[in-house]
Amino acid sequence: MGPSVAYHLLSQGLCESVALFEQDPVHLHSSTGLSAGGIRHLFSSAVNIALATYSVKFYEGFSEAMATDGDPGPDVAFRRNGYLFLLTPQNAQALLRRADLQEREGVALERLDASALKKRFPELETADLVGGIFGLRDGFLDPYQVMRGFSQKAQELGAQFISERAEAIEVEAGRAVAVRSQGWRVGARLAVVDAAGAWAGEVARMAGVEVPVVPQSRQIYQVVPPSSAFDRYPLTIDPSGFYFRPETGGRMLVGKSFSDDPREFVWDWKRSLFADAIWPDLAARVPVLENARLESGWAGLYEVTPDDNAIIGPHPDLQQFYVIAGFSGHGMMQGPAAGLALAERIALGSYRTIDASGLELRRFAEGRESREDAVV
């Protein structure tokens, strides 16, 4: 989010100079590099669909937009395999209602009945399913390359990257005016932006205000399937909660969010959780994956808000302090649009391209929060 905001501020001529602090310049723990890279339009609110719609278009031209002097932009390997929510008699009504909204908002999707589903994806066990919602313009990409592209381009446009932890935010007369690290003090004439992902609450407290974002550790598993049939598969969401998608080198990524995943800054990969709590459901849905081989995996942090929606915009209790954080597991597919929206809000005082006002932090105090239902 930080490099996206910097890129949009500078490329649109909205601001003359930007400095970014990064405590972890190799991005060992940043959520972006640890993400599954799933991209979908299939959300339950108009604002999230709008953020995804802009971002997907942006990702289509990402490499060209991020080209730097003499160098082509990174290839984000955007694979348009689609995104598939499977429907049971229990969840179908809610997901079909969501599909109505998505279609009204211009999302290209297909409603598959059980036989169409089986025909298209014969490896799936469909006896308990009534169909699927298939996002036609969706897929997945390489999140690390997205971060690299935004960072390189922002740097070329003049952004200064400081590889240090921001440790203090100076406040004068109710206004955030500077950020300090061990070796630096950067004064802010226009804005101090909290783009600290799972650490956003901690960074806000440096300025003496609250931002309700907490970390939650999530697991990803890389498996080798016994056949190449899955290369063409969409990112598929099972009603039991697990997801899978093809990965390069004939592998697959599999993950699942559990409500008791630790809400802490921990990155321990739990190998045994796969066999205990995911594999049985996975093999029931895709019987041939009974013979998959678990190869490796990792853990990363979701950055969770009380309503599973991002926080974008000014902080109501501190002037010149802005937040872009708390994407609750769907930041990759919103990053370009969210960065643009915040850049406009900072520099122009209002949202011009996408109205993200419903995602401002004040929604919580004003009782206007509404839960995003399509959270994976």
Q: Which residues would be at the binding site for ligand FAD (CB under 6 A)?
A: 1-2, 21-24, 27, 30-32, 34-38, 165-166, 195-199, 203, 218, 220, 255, 300-303, 325, 327, 329-333
DSSP H or E stretch at residue 369:
none
Q: How far is the CB of 206 from ligand FAD (least distance, A)?
A: 7
Residue 92 or 325 with smaller CB distance to ligand FAD = 325
Specify the pairing of strand 311-314 against strand 321-325.
antiparallel
Residue nearest to ligand FAD (CB): 331
Nearer to ligand FAD, 126 or 142 (CB): 142
**The one-letter amino acid at 117:** L
- Smallest separation, CB 201 to ligand FAD (Å): 10
For the bound state, the minimum distance from the C-beta of residue 240 to ligand FAD, rounded and expressed in Å, comes to: 18
- Show the CA angle centred on residue 211, arms to residues 206 and 214, nearest 5°: 100
The shares of helix, strand and coil residues in the chain, as percent rounded to the nearest 5, are 35, 25, 40
DSSP 318: S
Q: Which lies closer to ligand FAD via its Cβ, residue 119 or residue 265?
A: 265
| CB nearer ligand FAD, residue 92 or residue 318 | 318
Q: Nearer to ligand FAD by C-beta: 92 or 256?
A: 256
**Token reading at 162:** 């400081």
> How many residues are present in the chain?
376
Closest CA to 39 of 342, 335, 355, 254: 335
Q: In the bound complex, what is the minimum distance in angstroms from residue 335's beta carbon to ligand FAD?
A: 7
Per the structure block, which two tokens stand in for 51? Answer: 């953020």
* Spatial distance between the Cα atoms of 273 and 297, rounded to a whole number of angstroms: 11
> Minimum CB separation from ligand FAD for residue 162, in Å?
8
